[in-house]
Amino acid sequence: MQLANYLKPEEVQPDSKWAALREAQSHSLHLPNTGMACAIDLGEAYDIHPKNKQEVGRRLAQVSLANTYKKGTYNVPTYVGYRISGRTLILSFDREVVAKDGDPKGFILAGPDGKYHPAKASIQGKEVILQADEVEIPTAACYAWADNPVCNLYGTSGLPVVPFRTRK
């Protein structure tokens, strides 16, 4: 189970150690016979243990059944790359993404100076288009990159997209 959202919510926190630890958990998936369920939407700001244990268990069971026993699926959109077009940075995923409850939230964007700003996001199928007024030339983006991010990107399966960044 990837670490849930926890601690004080912040919109821009590119130095989050909690997010870096989530990234390290994601990188372990290259090892054989591993799987991971994301809990970025199940946490509590001031309780390290998510209260919704049933959903935690359901997601863990779903990934285990799909990966180990080939029963059912655990389909989560995976970030696969990005391209830059003018003042926008376009993120690509391996499958369609959707935002729950309104516009996509949880994206930050940086330019050559390396300073991150909240990004406006829109979805077109398997792509998320980002732009920030403060960023003329986008060079990097992050999604749900904070200790306790406000984020709402999901796959059509209803499972949350795993937090990521385009560069370290």
* Cβ atoms within 10 Å of 86's Cβ, excluding its own: 9
Share of the chain above pLDDT 90, in %: 95
Q: What distance in Å separates the CA atoms of residue 4 and residue 156, rounded to the nearest whole number?
A: 21
Structure confidence by residue, pLDDT tens digits, 82-117: 999 999 999 999 999 999 999 999 999 999 999 999
Residue 68 parent element (H or E): helix 53-69
Compute the distance between CA of residue 88 and CA of residue 85 in angstroms, rounded to an integer: 5
**Where exactly are the structural domains of the chain?**
1-168
Render pLDDT for 40-89 as a digit per residue (tens, 0 to 9). Answer: 999 999 998 889 999 999 999 999 999 999 999 999 999 999 999 999 99
Give the pTM.
0.94
DSSP class per residue in 130-163: EE-TT-SS--EEEES-SSS----EEETTSPBPPP
What is the per-residue pLDDT for 160?
Answer: 98
Residue 168's pLDDT is: 77
pLDDT computed for residue 40 by the predictor = 97
